[in-house]
Amino acid sequence: MLIDMQSFYASVEKAKMPQHKNRPLAVAGDPARRSGIILAACPLAKAKGVSTAEPLWQSLQKCPDLIIVKPHMQEYIEVSTQIMSIIEEFTDLVEPYSIDELFADFTGSMHLFGNDPMDLAKQIQDKIYNETGVYARAGIGENKIISKLCCDMIAKKVDGGIFHLKKEELHLHIGDKPIRDMWGIGSRMEKHLWKMGIRTIKDLANTPLSKLRSKWGVNGEVIWRVANGLDNSPVTVDTHSTQKDIGNGMTLPRDYAEAWEIEVVIQDICTEVCRRARKKGLMGSVVSLSVSGADFDHPTGFHRQVKLPDPTNITVDVCKIAKRIFHHFWDGQPVRRVGVSLSQLSNADTYQLSFFDDQEQKRAIDQVMDDIKDRFGDIAILRASSITAAGQAIDRASKIGGHYK
């Protein structure tokens, strides 16, 4: 099954505010900042035209009586964890797909709950709703792809929110759906497929695989397999246990046009990224910097990376490299978003010593700062630049993933 929570953030907020049960409600970022967009809208709000990712002011024009709630990310994470624990009462094979979606394999435990997948899904749906107030939908299939297609394209739209899609009936139910509705197809790919005469999911499924592979390589085979409901990947509990990179990015509260301001943001992000790396006992061999311009109509910015001679998680070293990348590639245009990441990770237990640089002193300074923050809070100790007008560390300390806790 692919089990999906309806309007997850909004549902969590409504569950704790029953007085708004029959009123349109949306979770949105801080209107005073750039994050003033809709993150989630309840079905009542969606019925009035409110949609995810649109600016808050547009939603209020469509629905003047819309209840606006700021996000509480810590609560959403806790409820998501609670829902995962509920599903684990029915099977030990549960794989998070996102904060509000989980794959679950019931092959080995189905006999314990009556052998009827529809009834089992209803049991899970009821238990999640009774314990969290969140309404879950379930797509049932013989593999992950079919369950995902089933949930997104059928279960979310039928009464009861549950549907069992058998492979032999795949194209009977979704074959005539527009190709854009299929998981994995964006607007760009849709245009390419239309030029090839491929309009529906069934059209894609019937296209010769060799034709798609010759045009898009492995990705061509991936979309062909999705259209045909083919997927051999198992539901695994350790899918996300191996981390490929550690990164962080932020959308700035205003356009940053001066180099020193952007340097401050890079410093704040590097501090956070390196601290997370040290907590996980990891170092990175590649430092990446992403900078996005302020004009969406005429995009500017860059994404560049540098391979280090030796892996590190030392804040001043990573920041030095990130700033060097910035000054080399920045075109002087105003900046809206900045991101830094460490990749090609390795264990931090073993590292290269140097005759020419006091690495141990740098590590000691980072360790002291980490200890102070762990004990007294993220803003107990800061670099002086972080308290300038450009600094974001204090504001970020009250957030998770860029949203308020």
**Per-residue pLDDT reduced to its tens digit, 42-92:** 999 999 999 988 888 888 899 999 999 988 888 999 999 999 999 999 999
Same domain for 187 and 68:
no
Beta strand pairing status for 2-5 and 25-28?
Answer: unpaired
Tally: H helices and E strands in the chain = 15, 14
**Per-residue pLDDT reduced to its tens digit, 258-270:** 999 999 999 999 9
Residue 144 is predicted with a pLDDT of 96
Tokens of 287: 């430092």
The CATH number of the domain holding residue 55 is 3.40.1170.60
What is the distance between the alpha carbons of residues 403 and 13, in angstroms, rounded to a whole number?
15
Structural domains in the chain (count): 3
> By residue range, what is the domain housing residue 46?
2-73
What are the phi and psi torsion angles at 155 (to 5°)?
-60, -40
* Assigned domain for 146 exists: no
Same domain for 385 and 274:
yes
At residue 340, the 3 state secondary structure works out as: strand
Same domain for 192 and 267:
no
Residue 31 is predicted with a pLDDT of 56
Same domain for 190 and 313:
no
Residue 387 is predicted with a pLDDT of 86
pTM of the entire structure?
Answer: 0.74
Same domain for 377 and 249:
yes
Residues annotated within a binding site for Mg(2+)? 4, 100
- To the query of whether residue 131 is one of the catalytic residues in this protein, the response is no
What is the distance between the alpha carbons of residues 56 and 274, in angstroms, rounded to a whole number?
34
Residue spans of beta strands (DSSP E) within 24-69:
25-28, 38-41, 67-69
Same domain for 275 and 392:
yes
Catalytic, out of 13, 101, 261, 263: 101
* Assigned domain for 147 exists: no
* Assigned domain for 126 exists: no
The CATH number of the domain holding residue 254 is 3.30.1490.100
Cβ-proximal residues to 258 (8 Å cutoff; 6+ apart), any chain: none
* Assigned domain for 347 exists: yes
Which helix (H) or strand (E) covers residue 364, if one does?
helix 359-376
What is the distance between the alpha carbons of residues 25 and 14, in angstroms, rounded to a whole number?
8
In the predicted model, residues of the chain with pLDDT beneath 50 are 34
The DSSP secondary structure of 120-180, one letter per residue, reads: HHHHHHHHHHHHH---EEEEE-SSHHHHHHHHHHTGGGSTTSEEE--GGGHHHHHTTSBGG
Crossing angle of the two packed helices 117-132 and 73-87, in degrees rounded to 10: 140
Same domain for 396 and 284:
yes
Same domain for 373 and 326:
yes
* Assigned domain for 337 exists: yes
What are the phi and psi torsion angles at 314 (to 5°)?
-80, 125
